[in-house]
Amino acid sequence: MEASSVTENSSTGNDHEQEPVLNHGGTESNPETDREEELDGEEVRRVLQVSAATGKFWHNWDKLKSMLSFQLKLVLSEYPEAKMTIEQQNASLGETNLELVTRLNEELHSFIEGPPFTLQRLCEILLDARSIYPKLSKLALALEKNLLVTSTLTVCTEPYPEMMPNPEPEKATEEAPLQSNSVQNGVESMVGDRDEIMTEVEADIEEMTIDVDAFQEMVGPSEANSTAAENS
């Protein structure tokens, strides 16, 4: 009886270990699909942005995997091909959009121990796919390339980075009055300098006038003397 009990437990343990492999495709109802339905799009983007910026991850891999799967399906659904007929999809992609989503999702879920070492690039693509790859066929190739690797990352033990809000708008607001004041001060200083310059110019003109008058007084008698000499 004891031997039978050990055999049954061993068989049960093997079945339990194989369950994640059987559910990789995500085609049946499973906890991973349920987790994706509970995810918030903004939270997913924030988590992926951290990995895109650092190339590291802090969350439980199963949770992060669900986030990546969520974003992957969302991105692929935003391309025009997702709304084409099956015939058009086959002509454009060589497969249906559903087949593409399923294939890439299976490749993602094939990572059991941790995310692929290409996690950083994978997050960058999923966060800005339409700008990087306007065509779905190019996106599919890029995602496949980053998923067809074998090396994985380990969870980071460093403190989780705080994603601070962008300070640039506030900085710009603070700098705007300073710039305005500097412009105003510049105008005022220019006006003040212009007044000083005009005063100096007027003084120079007065000095020139005095010099001309003095010159005429000096030249006047000499011209008179020369005229008298000629007349004589």
Q: What is the pLDDT of residues 169-228, one digit of tens each?
A: 444 444 444 444 444 444 444 444 545 545 554 555 455 554 555 545 555 555 545 544
DSSP 95: S
Mean pLDDT of 71-76: 96
In a domain, 70, yes or no: yes
In a domain, 62, yes or no: yes
Q: Is 152 helix (H, G, I), strand (E, B) or coil?
A: strand
> CA torsion sign, 37 to 43 to 45 to 49?
negative
d(C-alpha 133, C-alpha 143), whole Å: 11
Q: How many domains does the chain have?
A: 1
In a domain, 105, yes or no: yes
User: Structural domain of residue 88, as residue ranges?
Assistant: 39-146
> CA torsion sign, 188 to 191 to 197 to 199?
negative
pLDDT in tens, 131-152: 999 999 999 999 999 999 999 9
> CA torsion sign, 168 to 171 to 175 to 176?
positive
In a domain, 115, yes or no: yes
In a domain, 151, yes or no: no
pTM of the model: 0.57
